[in-house]
Structure 1
Amino acid sequence: MAHGREAGNKVYLDKEALLRGRDYFFHVPWPTDVPEEERSCGAYRYPIVPSFQHWSFPHDSPPPGWSFNPDLTANVASLFPVPSISSVSQAVRDRDGSCRLSGYQDGIERAHLCPRSEVQWFTQQEMDRYNISGSLVGLGLVDDTANALALRSDIHLSFDAGRFVFTRKRDQWVSHFLTPTSNLGPEYHNTTVEIPSSVHPAFLLARLAWAIFPGIRNFLIRGEKRLVTLRQETGSAWDVKELDREHLCCVLGIQPRGRSNSPTKRQREADTTGGATDASATASKRARLHLAESPQPAEPLARTHSPPATTPELCNADAGPTPSPSQPSEPPVLHTNGETDERRRIGALRQSALKAQRPINPGLLCCDYDAAEVANAAGLEGPRTFGGAHLCMECLGMEYRDEEGCAPTPIPTMRDGGFDFPAPD
């Protein structure tokens, strides 16, 4: 590790020392088989593995302090019975007894080390060689007890979010938090953890790599071309390619542009460019907002003595013909262009709702509905008994009738500004 990007002073520090400089650069030496002329061109540009999906698991060369004992699973299989797929979670909870990080026994869950989402990588890398059960196939390959730990539910969420991992330090298993947290990190960072012997270290290393790889994405897409190692789609071969930022974003599944691809945003942009559409929508919004802010109507109502809430208009001259009373219809769509049109629209909606409540059998109507519509369209006022409307409250749908001809429920009528409740027969 050196201070310079291309060259610099090599840093010599003890294992316990802290790096106090601002920027450091990791320099990999040139391979021994490269000619001297090529080495003199500058620092060696070593290929970078861009993501976990392109990482080749080091089966034969584990990191220092890690051991992939090939006989481990064989010994464990004789001590721990292989559970069925349906009972793996319970088997993990019974095996661990408590959360491996906190020691809590309440709310513990099975946490996968190599995630279920990486079953394709798991299969291609032949990670099933570390499973205890040899009968797992397909998507179930990752559901082996050797690939799981018991964790408390909130710690499990943090674990799946990649906020911490389990790793080797001083020949011990410890928890290492990769991102700052409010509570779990300060409480459990560098905590010694007892890992069950039936959990294979290969899966812990896979989880460590899975959590670290997202941290190099910003480095890869800063704009410079990068030399990367990519796994081919078929087979187990890898290619070394130099990719620019756009192609690296495609490899990493990142949108190359910083703008949002939200459909709502695209719709807003399309409306803005449309001009007329945006202006119409703005005018409609302003009309509704103005109505909400001004409780007093700008124009006097046609029937000041008949409140709209109790005697809604039957029809509107702009609403078109009204369907048959026996067939409830959808409310007409009116264009709002001010407070008057808004009141008409509300009246039409109320009218449609009342029509839908009327008896299905037209024979139960006591009023002439067609004549009432003609009178209302002509601007005539209805009987005072009906509150200025042209239909009684029963025909407007304000009662529930028995379709078999039973007596209707008594309906209140308006008399002298108040409601008169007739006595039952």
Structure 2
Amino acid sequence: MTTTPAAPVVSARPLSAVLESAGAILVYHPAYLRPTILLRLEVYSIRDSSVPGVPLALVLDACQIIANNARGCLTLYGDQTEIAIRSDTPGGLLRPGKYHYRVPSHTDGPYPICLKFRAWKPPVAAPQNWARERWAPPRTDLAAVDADVVSTVAWSNLSGDVKRTDGRCAVTGDRSRLNASHLIPQAESAWFKHHRPAVDELDGGISVHNAHNVITLRADLKKATFDDGHFVLFPYQGEMVTIFMTLGTRDLARDFHFSAAEIPVRIFADYLYARFAWSIFKIAGC
């Protein structure tokens, strides 16, 4: 005698919890009669805290990139003198609100802005907070690191090598569902070749397909999040952290906003800074 097993009960899964935005930071160009937004960033509370904010250094770095690398300061919207927050405040967080990005050194009309990553020229030196010694132990054996890097191999081989070497997602620590992820994207190969002397610390990569430019991420963090600019990697208080700045992936923001990332020793700091710039242009809609 045989029995027919009961049909499985199909029930609706509850929606994933999300991290609620505390508001937005809106940064405007101060020199136009019609309000011109340079940047909009969603603001979330820091993990294990009710304090919302975005690191001031991040907002300043982002605005400097959009302003063609012109250093400036943030003032409260409509006020030419009131500094939003002191730039030397350790770990200073900028709260939701409206601000102006001012460039005191530019007095000849409105300061120019850069509209696209491909038009952006990296500075001779990235801001000091991006220096590796600010957020990671110093590299002690660069020769050994470089010996493992082969830039001319097929991407499939390099991708597999990177995933095997890393063994886990740099953000979540997961060991499955891994993707090798370019910092400077493959679509920006022409930009990379043109600006390589400025962003390549050791002349270690002849193309974007080099291990200095590739980290390992969980598949969902790469394809629908990192590659769409929903979060950035940013140096903050001695670590490289993930900071979510859009409304697009609030479920992932709930788990990983302001969490420390484990960046492999082979990764070039200038590549991370270039990726930050690419993400900022993506967020700004440029």
TM norm structure 2: 0.61
Q: Does 1:196 align with 2:264?
A: yes
Q: CA deviation at 1:73?
A: 5.4
1:162 to 225, 229, 242: 229
Within a 5 Å distance, the mapping from 1:187-266 to structure 2 comes to 187-217=255-285
User: Does 1:9 find its partner at 2:82?
Assistant: yes
- Alignment-derived partner of residue 107 in structure 1: 177
The 1:197–1:122 alpha-carbon spacing in structure 2 relative to 1, beyond 3 Å, is same
1:95 and 2:95 correspond: no
C-alpha displacement of 1:6: 7.3
User: Cα distance, 1:99 vs. partner?
Assistant: 1.0
Q: Deviations over 1:256-305 (max 9, x none)?
A: xxxxxxxxxxxxxxxxxxxxxxxxxxxxxxxxxxxxxxxxxxxxxxxxxx
Query: Does 1:29 pair with 2:101?
Result: no
Provide the identity percentage. 28
User: How much has 1:191 moved relative to structure 2?
Assistant: 0.8
Unaligned runs of 5+ residues in structure 1 are 32-38, 218-251, 253-425
Contact 1:131 1:147 in 2 (8 A): no
Residue number in structure 1 paired with 2:209: 143
Q: 2:76 aligns to what SS in structure 1? A: coil
Question: In 2, are the aligned partners of 1:166 and 1:173 still within 8 Å (CA)?
Answer: yes
State whether structure 2 residue 118 is matched by structure 1 residue 53. Answer: yes
Contact 1:27 1:44 in 2 (8 A): no
TM-score (norm 1): 0.42
* Secondary structure of 1:24 counterpart: strand
Q: What SS does structure 2 have at the residue aligned with 1:23?
A: strand
Deviation at 1:113, TM superposition (A): 0.8
Aligned mates of 1:72, 1:62 — CA distance in 2: 23
* Residues 296-335 of structure 1, C-alpha deviations (whole Å, 9 max, x = no match): xxxxxxxxxxxxxxxxxxxxxxxxxxxxxxxxxxxxxxxx
Give the CA deviation at 1:2.
Answer: 2.2
Q: 1:12 to 1:55 in 2, by over 3 A?
A: same
Q: Closer, same or farther in 2 for the Cα pair 1:73/1:62, shift >3 Å?
A: farther
Q: Partner residue of 1:66?
A: 130
Aligned ranges for residues 246-325 of structure 1 at < 5 Å? Answer: none
Tell me which protein shows more helix as a share of its residues: 1
Matched, 1:76 2:145: yes
* The structure with more radius of gyration: 1
Deviation at 1:96, TM superposition (A): 0.5
Q: Which 5+ residue runs of structure 2 have no aligned equivalent? A: 1-73, 133-137
2: CA distance, partners of 1:198 / 1:71: 11
Q: Is the 8 A contact 1:147 1:200 kept in 2?
A: yes
For the structure 1 residues 107 and 8, does the alpha-carbon distance in structure 2 shift closer, same or farther, using more than 3 Å as the test? Answer: same
Alpha-carbon distance change, 132 to 154 in structure 1, aligned in 2, over 3 angstroms: farther
Distance 1:28 1:77, change over 3 A: same
| Runs of 4+ deviating beyond 2 Å | 1-23, 67-75, 80-86, 127-134, 214-217
Q: Structure 1 residues 4, 106: closer, same or farther in 2, change over 3 A?
A: closer
Which amino acid in the other structure matches residue 116 of structure 1? Q
Check conservation: 2:229, 2:283, Cα contact below 8 A.
no
Tell me, yes or no, if the aligned pair for 1:2 and 1:11 is still in contact at 8 Å.
yes
Quote how far apart the aligned CAs of 1:171 are: 1.9
After TM superposition, give the deviation of residue 10 of structure 1 in Å. 3.4
Question: What is the count of residue pairs matched by the alignment?
Answer: 201
Q: Deviations over 1:143-179 (max 9, x none)?
A: 1111111111111111111111212111211111121
CA distance in 2, matches of 1:54, 1:153: 29
More strand by share: 2
Write the letter of the residue equivalent to 1:129: D
What is the RMSD of the two structures over their aligned residues, measured on CA atoms? Answer: 3.0
Report the AA paired with residue 129 of structure 2: G
